Structure 1
């Protein structure tokens, strides 16, 4: 048990997730980073002074086991960052998309976050924070007329709707649920040319550490609302 606030960041052994975890640790938050691979999770956690857990967000048993471990170790949760994701299918178009790839994207980017929320929200303290790491690719306004990445874009648009639904249902517990686009970031998925990882992660940490009058059910980038 700990007197510090407890945060969980999924998919956090590298990239934006790891940097979000690092910034939360720097703020004094008891942070648990998760990854599918135990060795990678442990190595990443040791680098930044975090705790770690093993979670495959696409697997019910894995998420349930983590929930039990988190409950036994901490008893509560204050911040959940659903960062695990991927399947940026730049080589596809919607007309001829491989639906197996689409299914994989939905399984992780949408259902993974949903599965984790379903398991961990019963542990979340009143006034907690949930951040769904989304993308401008899931914004109808930002992608109007744009082709490409259909699996990724559709899964992130669906994640945005999940954000709205959870925010409405959790308002009575003063749990703020928001979606955040970190922007184009120079990660393994984003590739060279993007902004520094620390800059993209900062917007996620902003939403994860909002005060008592936090907005909920919104879509943000760098602390500013962006259109759905």
Structure 2
């Protein structure tokens, strides 16, 4: 009986030790699995952040894409760069005084004003960061030819046009709209792609919102010497 008792106790002890070892092994396996899972999640998050960062286009990339799309008269690509709430402003000159329209989309098949077309222009790159060229209505020539943008100054052509419309034309732009225009200009840069003879230049403005750039203005009035 004593031998049987001791034998039974040894079996129980052995079982408990084995169980304990198994539990330790299971915990070790679980810890290793959790560590692998956390590493995997961390890698995915890191990759996602890198991908998002890589997808953000630089100012220069956006200027190039918009200019090429405009030269190709590709409304689809232009529309990708229209801000969903800010829309796009089109400055034009129906007479002696420039005016503008504000719209939510853009299409070459629906020009502004209706009686005119946006005209054609050949791509005149590469893009250069320089002082913007001026057009001489006396000689009917640009002081320099090419595609330029200027990061040393912010554009004010749109707010100036709005103020003239308020003061001279029978158009009243409320204070909130005028303030929005000024806010847009503080985050914008102007670019000019000069044109060859019998072509219309491409004068436009892009605005930064977050890490993205948007086309917020096309200026059809600049370099217009009809009046």
Alignment TM-score > 0.5, same fold: no
Higher helix share: 1
TM-score by length of 2: 0.25
Q: TM-score, normalised by structure 1?
A: 0.24
